[in-house]
Amino acid sequence: MEGQLSIFDTKQKKTTPKVVNVASVPQRSPFRYPGGKTWLIPVVRKWLKQSKEQKKLIEPFVGGGIVSLTTAFENLAERIIMVELDYEVAAVWEVIINGDHNWLADKIYSFDLTPENANSILQKESKTLKEQAFSTILKNRIFHGGIITKGSGLIKKGENGKGIKSRWYPKTLRDRILAIGHVKSKMEFVTGDAFTELEKIKDDANYYSFIDPPYTVAGKRLYTHFKIDHDALFALTAQLKGKFMLTYDDTEEIRALAKKYNLDFRIIPMKTTHHIQKNEIIISDNFEWWK
């Protein structure tokens, strides 16, 4: 298991040279998340540490949840709200954060992964919440690139089993879920819409909002829910009384929106998992913490 984990870590290190030291970011999430923000964690830590006062964190597009999880484990906020609309992803957080995380940990650990067993889980209709959570984890781990939208197909019959096992680390996954169980009392998960939940907290200055919406062409392939009103998100973000950090790909459209809402931004280089160099844009209410 150690070996498998370190292969994963090495890959992370290689993909983000100079920018940030990802080696300092423990992998806490049970998900492999396309577009995941693990690489940004050192920056997020600085952002959260800008004031010593008690704070709450909301992550309205939580996905794999690395920001919320790191915040919980490192005690960077007293309360954490995670929000996700995708029912497959949401089921996992519902079970881990609001439900019986031990059940999911045991289920993963004791599952005999064969193509037949996997297909029978994935194809089952009308799943219970727990079954859905397990099915999502399975799909996320054995499908190409961790992509779990409708387009990604079932495992081919006759596959010898090695392929699907290459990212199935049951002990690591169990241990991550059990570890989350130790910190989850300060966490809350909401299956729902980012806009609705941000509206609820927008006048509370104690909230730090980490906002990482789905965006661009990649959004369509990676996420089931990728269509959001970016102008409306900027408008709502600009109204937040608390601190915020809004992240996007660096494009003309996004720079124009930042300008429209009079929001300051910084550019940060990163490399995608496919080793493509690109820039991300970080929009925030202030950049005192950036130095």
Ligand X SMILES: C[S@@+](CC[C@H](N)C(=O)[O-])C[C@H]1O[C@@H](n2cnc3c(N)ncnc32)[C@H](O)[C@@H]1O
Site stretch for ligand X (CB under 6 A), options 14-22, 61-69, 256-264, 273-281: 61-69
List C-alpha distances in Å: 28 to 72, 134, 140, 264. 10, 17, 15, 31
Between 165 and 220, CB nearer to ligand X: 220
* Site residues (CB under 6 A) for ligand X, limited to 137-166: none
Smallest gap from Cβ 52 to ligand X, in A, equals 25
Count of residues that interact with ligand X, criterion CB under 6 A: 22
User: Quick one: tokens of 162?
Assistant: 């090695």
Torsion angle in degrees (nearest 10) through CA of 282, 286, 289, 291: 70
Site stretch for ligand X (CB under 6 A), options 35-43, 104-112, 154-162, 199-207: 35-43
Contacts of residue 166, defined as CB under 8 A and 6 or more positions apart, other chains included, come to none
Smallest gap from Cβ 156 to ligand X, in A, equals 27
Angle at 159 between CA 168 and CA 105, to 5 degrees: 20
Pick one of 33, 39, 134, 265: the residue that binds ligand X (CB under 6 A): 33
Between 84 and 280, CB nearer to ligand X: 84
How far is it, in rounded angstroms, from Cα 243 to Cα 279?
23
How far is it, in rounded angstroms, from Cα 80 to Cα 233?
20
Smallest gap from Cβ 44 to ligand X, in A, equals 10
How far is it, in rounded angstroms, from Cα 181 to Cα 269?
34
Pick one of 48, 85, 95, 254: the residue that binds ligand X (CB under 6 A): 85
Is residue 254 a contact point for ligand X (CB under 6 A)?
no
Site stretch for ligand X (CB under 6 A), options 41-49, 55-63, 257-265, 278-286: 55-63
User: Quick one: tokens of 193?
Assistant: 């819409």
How far is it, in rounded angstroms, from Cα 7 to Cα 183?
27
Is residue 88 a contact point for ligand X (CB under 6 A)?
no
Smallest gap from Cβ 121 to ligand X, in A, equals 21
Is residue 35 a contact point for ligand X (CB under 6 A)?
yes
How far is it, in rounded angstroms, from Cα 152 to Cα 142?
11
* Site residues (CB under 6 A) for ligand X, limited to 194-233: 194, 212-214, 223, 225, 228
- Amino acid present at 94: E
User: Residues 191, 84: contact at Cβ < 8 Å?
Assistant: yes
Is residue 89 a contact point for ligand X (CB under 6 A)?
yes
Q: What are phi and psi of 282, to 5 degrees?
A: -115, 120
The percent of the chain in helix, strand and coil, each rounded to the nearest 5, is: 50, 15, 35
Smallest gap from Cβ 87 to ligand X, in A, equals 10
Q: How many residues does the chain have?
A: 291
How far is it, in rounded angstroms, from Cα 187 to Cα 276?
34
Between 165 and 271, CB nearer to ligand X: 271
Site stretch for ligand X (CB under 6 A), options 58-66, 131-139, 142-150, 264-272: 58-66
Between 42 and 114, CB nearer to ligand X: 42
Smallest gap from Cβ 243 to ligand X, in A, equals 17
Residues that bind ligand X (CB under 6 A): 33, 35-37, 60-61, 63-64, 66, 83-86, 89, 193-194, 212-214, 223, 225, 228
